[in-house]
Amino acid sequence: MGSRLRQDVKHFFECFCEVVGPKCDDTTAWIIQKFPECYKDESVLKSVPKFAFPCEFDKTVPQHYSFVLTNVDSKWTFGFCRHDPRSETALVVLTYLPWHEAFSKFLNYISELMQGSYSDHLWKFLDIVYQSKIPRIGINLSVSIHPSLKEFVCEAPSQFKLPSIPENRNLTEYYNAVDNHNMMIIFASMLYERRIIFTSKKLSRLSACVQSANALLYPMSWQHIFIPVLPQSLIDYLLAPMPYLIGLPHSLIKNIKRNDLGDVVILDADNNAVETPFHDLESLPADVVHNLQKQLRNRASVLGDGVSRAFLRALVQLIGGYRDALKISQGKKITFSQEAFVESRPSSIQPFLKKMLELQIFQQFIEERLDLLNAGLGFSDEFELEVCNYSDKSGSKLQQYKEWVHTMRKEGTAFFKTVKNRANPAVKSAVKTVKERGKDVRSVYKGFRSKLKDKKENPNSVPSSPTTDRAHFSTSDLKLSSSGAKGDRSQFHLLEEATISSSQSNEDLSPLNMDLMGDLQDVIFRNCYTVSDETNNKATSHSSKLPEDNTVQNCIANSFTSRFNAFSSSNTEIDDGDVFKLPHKMLPPSRSESVILQNEPKDLIRLDSASSIGDFDPLTNGEHSQNSSVYSEDFSPVGVSNPLYSFYYINKTKRPQKDSDLLNEYGINFNGLNLKTDSECSTQTIAKSKSEWTKFD
Amino acid sequence: MEDYKFLFKVVLVGNAGVGKTCLVRRFTQGLFPPGQGATIGVDFMIKTIEIDNEKIKLQIWDTAGQERFRSITQSYYRSAHALILVYDISCQPTFDCLPDWLREIEEYANSKVLRVLVGNKLDREDREIPTEVGEQFAQRHNMYYLETSAKEAENVERLFIQIAAELMEQARCKELPRYEIGSESIDQNATTIKTKPCCNN
């Protein structure tokens, strides 16, 4: 729902085009050749030349940039574009995969083929890549077309990792071009869903900044008009009354009158200047801004995902409380309570949260999470991890979350069991199993709930939310009922009490006050044992990690010399260098571990030194770590945008695990899953007569 | 060189298949070339009309893929001058979705955005929502109301002219930003309906 990436991607790329630029003023750009020939999406093909030559620009240096096309379903198609001063044509590849680094390599490789004496091989190369399976996360796609030619290798990036500097070229470009304060203003403007224009003389910087600004909203995603590079012919889109994020080539600015634009936020990425009629950053809760500022100022954490994580933590502070507002009732879909969302947080940020509810990006985010939950999937990503860290720190919501986890565990266990028993899980049966399990649980909760009701009659209790007339158990009920007690400690005891009494009412109910982390470990790693044991004897493969680390080093070196001004050809040489020639060679774990240790960026702003998350870190358990890196070759790639993956935690002192590894171990194949739209509408409108109503006649 | 006194932005909202695009196409009489909806996700059409000897440029925005929004939040239309909420009079579900489209409608009742409820497909024999029901809904939510048929061109012209007239009235009361003589760079000479071609300055 919220995601604008496609899930059902079949090919590495959809179409490759070579586009001839406009010769003089009266001719427009046109496509001279394309692959595959059968690609027939006329509206896209008509647009490609416009986006490949969006305006007059400096053609004296090789230039890579990306554009985005939005189809009628609001899904994005990425266009990666390469201009070379040696050529009059632009190379464009259209794809549904947002793999910026992989496709710039791809275009460099194609360019070399075309410029060299092997241009005959281009079609063969494209065909092989087109027919190849999309590589799994962290795995290389390697194609060799001729013995005397270098092999083409690129890695499938993990979308679960936060963008890092300098590996992520978009973020590196954005960070270099725009200072912390201005990045924060843009961040705030995007949260307020403004109409936002980025400008730059360089198309590469333009698209990189727009893409990164959106990436920093993770786990949310921009829901409105999104045009990283705006072609001259579409300049009227700047007049759109709805929110937008548009990259405007600097040369086109003169074509637009400021007066017509209305209220817009403009970032000049070449001069690091923001112009805004709003006070969005000032309107964010002060402590959120303060923390963000502090973390961004920490220069030691610039390398790696420090910048991304700083923004992520700001979002955790703002919207991490969404989990406290989830209403879980057996047999019904999980819903989100707006009131509970606002009320669960300190009053200082409540006004902002109320505004947040009006934002499309937030609403889509909630929809997406509800869809995942209602599909019976437990999930975790960097955002959820940070939420855990944050609530650990603040301590207040842990108990509540515990209950929530417990509920999910009941369902989750069934789900995982089903998954485990079937090589290629059918969701239907999983859901069925969950439902059956849910029946037992429901009756238990009924008893539990009636107990809670008793508690509510306590004069200290806050009135329950209006939805309590429905027979269900909800987290907010729990919270409200327990709020009569003073302090966290007593809250804890109160819940224990309730738990005990409810288990008395039903013998089958296991105590609710189980150890949170133990619960999770139990749910998640139950399968881990089984899968690991089965695959115990298979060889471990770390090779995909090794090239990445070399790339990291190359990139670091590169970033400080050239500041990523262009994807220089020398960089290509390095990238395609020898390290990539051994994609599937097995390496002893110890070797690989030491490599990682050397290259792991220092994480100086980790706040969770005493986090209990560590308790269920699979890597701290010797037995697990032995088996945790096993790849099973029949594991299919995960949907490109699905933020789901089983709970894991990277212990910085140990070898990080690949996400796909973990997924695989749990026996999860998300390809078989179809997330359904929640059609339940809960919006209430209060009828209200207005006398000033007018009717056309 | 075209000049205009006012520029008004109108946004169309409603379920898929209620005829939003047809309404606009009818209004612009199909002269507007197929837009960029399929590659930008948003389409817009422009028509200049004249009321009381004043030239008014109407820019009508039609978003594809709205279906993914369970409701449309205020940020979506706060920069618009008018909002047209469309349903199909022969399709009850499209009417039932109206409250969802504009979440907490009454909360924004005093927002400056002019809101119009349109029951489209007046030409259909199998009407499911009586006029009164639509009217009452509009009244409750402080909206204008009109039934149209994009197919038969019934009330379509009237709908947009009324909107323009109303907005002009508001603008004259200084409630809206005024767009004095239009900028040459954004417009080009055309009679009534225009799109912007590549301007090669």
Give the count of beta carbons closer than 10 Å to the beta carbon of residue A350.
Answer: 15
Residue with tokens 């209790």: A461
Q: Can you give the pLDDT at residue B106?
A: 55
Of the two residues A232 and A158, the one the predictor is more confident about is: A232
Percent of chain A with pLDDT over 90: 36
- DSSP secondary structure, A496-530, as one string: HHHHHHHHHH-TTPPPS---HHHHHHHHHHHHHHH
Interface test with B, best of A357, A683, A684 (most B CBs within 10 A): A683
Cα separation, A118 vs A150, whole angstroms: 11
Give the count of beta carbons closer than 10 Å to the beta carbon of residue A639.
Answer: 19
Residue with tokens 């980025």: A198
State both tokens at A528. Answer: 């881990």
Residue in A240, A359, A685 nearest the CB of B75: A359
B 81-110 near A (Cβ less than 8 A) = 81, 97, 99-100, 103-106, 109
Q: Can you give the pLDDT at residue B122?
A: 93
What average pLDDT does the segment A435-446 reach? Answer: 49
Which DSSP helix (H) or strand (E) runs through A197? Answer: strand A195-200
User: Could you tell me which chain B residue has the CA closest to the CA of A69?
Assistant: B39
3-class DSSP assignment, residue B85: strand
Of the two residues A580 and B137, the one the predictor is more confident about is: B137
Query: Which residue, among A87, A78, A85, A86, has the nearest Cα to A106 in the 3D structure?
Result: A78
Shortest CA gap A686–chain B (Å): 8
If pLDDT is split at 50, 70 and 90, which confidence band does A688 have?
very low
Q: Spell out which residues of chain B touch residue A686, defining contact as CB-CB under 8 Å.
A: 106
Q: Spell out which residues of chain B touch residue A358, defining contact as CB-CB under 8 Å.
A: 73-75, 103
φ, ψ for residue A348 (rounded to 5)? -65, -30
Look at B40 and A358 and tell me if their CB atoms are within 8 Å. no
State both tokens at A574. Answer: 């390095």
Q: Can you give the pLDDT at residue A389?
A: 84
Shortest CA gap B126–chain A (Å): 24
Q: Spell out which residues of chain A touch residue B185, defining contact as CB-CB under 8 Å.
A: 254-257
Residue in A239, A683, A690 nearest the CB of B139: A690
Which DSSP helix (H) or strand (E) runs through A355? Answer: helix A350-357
Q: Can you give the pLDDT at residue A414?
A: 45
Interface test with A, best of B3, B71, B75 (most A CBs within 10 A): B75
Residue in A70, A259, A681 nearest the CB of B40: A70
- What's the distance, CA A647 to chain centroid? 15
Query: Which residue, among A220, A272, A222, has the nearest Cα to A242 in the 3D structure?
Result: A222
Q: B114-120 and B82-88 as β-strands: parallel, antiparallel, unpaired?
A: parallel
Q: Is B79 in CB contact (< 8 Å) with chain A?
A: yes
User: Could you tell me which chain A residue has the CA closest to the CA of B97?
Assistant: A681
Q: Judge contact between A358 and B73, C-beta under 8 A.
A: yes
Name beta bridge partners: B187.
none
Cα separation, A603 vs A304, whole angstroms: 8
Q: Is B198 in CB contact (< 8 Å) with chain A?
A: yes
Residue with tokens 């959106």: A214
Cα separation, B50 vs B56, whole angstroms: 6
Mean pLDDT, chain A, rounded, equals: 69
H helices then E strands: how many in chain B?
Answer: 7, 6
Q: What is the dihedral angle through the alpha carbons of B186, B188, B193, B197, rounded to the nearest 10 degrees? A: -80
Q: Spell out which residues of chain A touch residue B195, defining contact as CB-CB under 8 Å.
A: 236
Give yes or no for residue A97 having a pLDDT over 70: yes
Cα separation, A98 vs A218, whole angstroms: 14
Q: Is B186 in CB contact (< 8 Å) with chain A?
A: yes
User: Could you tell me which chain A residue has the CA closest to the CA of B147?
Assistant: A696
Q: Is B131 in CB contact (< 8 Å) with chain A?
A: no
pLDDT digits (tens, 9 = 90+) for A569-581: 333 333 433 333 3
Q: A535-549, B167-181, B187-201 — which is least confidently predicted?
A: B187-201
- Encoded amino acid at B128, one letter: E
What average pLDDT does the segment A525-540 reach? Answer: 40
Interface test with A, best of B36, B66, B94, B143 (most A CBs within 10 A): B36
Q: Is A323 in CB contact (< 8 Å) with chain B?
A: no
Residue with tokens 């890597």: A619
Sign of dihedral through CA atoms B115, B121, B125, B127? negative
If pLDDT is split at 50, 70 and 90, which confidence band does B36 have?
confident
Q: Spell out which residues of chain A touch residue B80, defining contact as CB-CB under 8 Å.
A: 241-242
If pLDDT is split at 50, 70 and 90, which confidence band does A207 have?
very high
Query: Which residue, among A593, A617, A577, has the nearest Cα to A545 in the 3D structure?
Result: A593
- Cis omega before residue A166 (within 30°)? yes
Look at B42 and A227 and tell me if their CB atoms are within 8 Å. no
B 24-43 near A (Cβ less than 8 A) = 36-42
Look at A692 and B142 and tell me if their CB atoms are within 8 Å. yes
Sheet holding B54-63, edge to edge: B42-51, B54-63, B6-14, B82-88, B114-120, B144-147
Shortest CA gap B80–chain A (Å): 5
Q: How far is CA B2 from CA A78, A147, B48, B57, B194, in A?
A: 36, 63, 10, 10, 10
Residue in A25, A241, A684 nearest the CB of B80: A241
User: Could you tell me which chain A residue has the CA closest to the CA of B36?
Assistant: A43
If pLDDT is split at 50, 70 and 90, which confidence band does A23 have?
confident
If pLDDT is split at 50, 70 and 90, which confidence band does A378 have?
low
If pLDDT is split at 50, 70 and 90, which confidence band does A257 have?
confident
3-class DSSP assignment, residue A320: helix
Q: Spell out which residues of chain B touch residue A241, defining contact as CB-CB under 8 Å.
A: 9, 11, 59, 61, 77, 79-81
Q: Judge contact between A696 and B84, C-beta under 8 A.
A: no
Cα separation, A138 vs A645, whole angstroms: 14
Cα separation, A449 vs B86, whole angstroms: 43
Shortest CA gap B31–chain A (Å): 18
Look at A225 and B42 and tell me if their CB atoms are within 8 Å. yes
Residue in B44, B140, B198 nearest the CB of A233: B198
Residue in A195, A360, A685 nearest the CB of B104: A685
Look at A696 and B69 and tell me if their CB atoms are within 8 Å. no
Give yes or no for residue A431 having a pLDDT over 60: no
A 356-385 near B (Cβ less than 8 A) = 358-360, 363-364, 367
pTM of the shown model? 0.67
Cα separation, B69 vs B100, whole angstroms: 9
φ, ψ for residue A97 (rounded to 5)? -90, 125
Look at B39 and A74 and tell me if their CB atoms are within 8 Å. no
Cα separation, B14 vs B67, whole angstroms: 8
Q: A60-69, A270-279, A679-688, B127-136 — which is least confidently predicted?
A: A679-688
Give the count of beta carbons closer than 10 Å to the beta carbon of residue A591.
Answer: 10
Give yes or no for residue A416 having a pLDDT over 80: no
pLDDT digits (tens, 9 = 90+) for A299-310: 888 889 999 999
pLDDT digits (tens, 9 = 90+) for A341-361: 998 888 888 988 988 888 889
Cα separation, A161 vs A308, whole angstroms: 10
What average pLDDT does the segment A149-164 reach? Answer: 86
Q: Is B80 in CB contact (< 8 Å) with chain A?
A: yes
Look at B144 and A367 and tell me if their CB atoms are within 8 Å. no
Give the count of beta carbons closer than 10 Å to the beta carbon of residue A453.
Answer: 13
Listed in sequence order, the DSSP H helices in B35-142 are 37-40, 74-77, 92-96, 98-101, 131-140
Name beta bridge partners: B9.
B59
Q: Half-sphere exposure of B63 toward its Cβ, with a 13 Å CA cutoff?
A: 28
If pLDDT is split at 50, 70 and 90, which confidence band does B72 have?
confident
Look at A235 and B40 and tell me if their CB atoms are within 8 Å. no
Residue in B106, B162, B186 nearest the CB of A256: B186
Burial of residue A85, with CB atoms counted within 10 A of its CB: 0-12 exposed, 13-18 middle, 19 or more buried? exposed
Shortest CA gap B139–chain A (Å): 6
Look at A359 and B7 and tell me if their CB atoms are within 8 Å. no
Q: Can you give the pLDDT at residue A677?
A: 37
Give yes or no for residue B161 having a pLDDT over 50: yes
Of the segments A311-325, A412-426, A540-554, A660-674, which one has the largest average pLDDT value? A311-325
- What's the distance, CA A447 to chain centroid? 39
What average pLDDT does the segment A687-691 reach? Answer: 36
If pLDDT is split at 50, 70 and 90, which confidence band does A281 have?
very high
What average pLDDT does the segment A158-174 reach? Answer: 90
Q: Is B7 in CB contact (< 8 Å) with chain A?
A: yes
Cα separation, B50 vs B37, whole angstroms: 27
What average pLDDT does the segment A542-567 reach? Answer: 41
Angle in degrees, 0-180, between the axes of helices A306-319 and A169-177, rounded to the nearest 10: 90
Give the count of beta carbons closer than 10 Å to the beta carbon of residue B81.
Answer: 26
Cα separation, A205 vs A197, whole angstroms: 13
Q: Can you give the pLDDT at residue A191?
A: 95
Which domains, ranges and CATH numbers included, belong to chain B? 6-173 (3.40.50.300)
Q: Can you give the pLDDT at residue B113?
A: 86
Q: Spell out which residues of chain B touch residue A260, defining contact as CB-CB under 8 Å.
A: 7, 179, 182-183, 186
Of the two residues B183 and A154, the one the predictor is more confident about is: A154
ipTM comes to 0.83
Shortest CA gap B143–chain A (Å): 7
Look at A70 and B65 and tell me if their CB atoms are within 8 Å. yes
Q: Spell out which residues of chain A touch residue B41, defining contact as CB-CB under 8 Å.
A: 70-72, 74, 225-226
Q: Can you give the pLDDT at residue A401?
A: 53
Q: Is A429 in CB contact (< 8 Å) with chain B?
A: no
Burial of residue B52, with CB atoms counted within 10 A of its CB: 0-12 exposed, 13-18 middle, 19 or more buried? exposed
If pLDDT is split at 50, 70 and 90, which confidence band does A274 have?
very high
If pLDDT is split at 50, 70 and 90, which confidence band does B66 have?
confident
Cα separation, A325 vs A336, whole angstroms: 6
If pLDDT is split at 50, 70 and 90, which confidence band does A2 have?
low
Cα separation, B1 vs B189, whole angstroms: 5
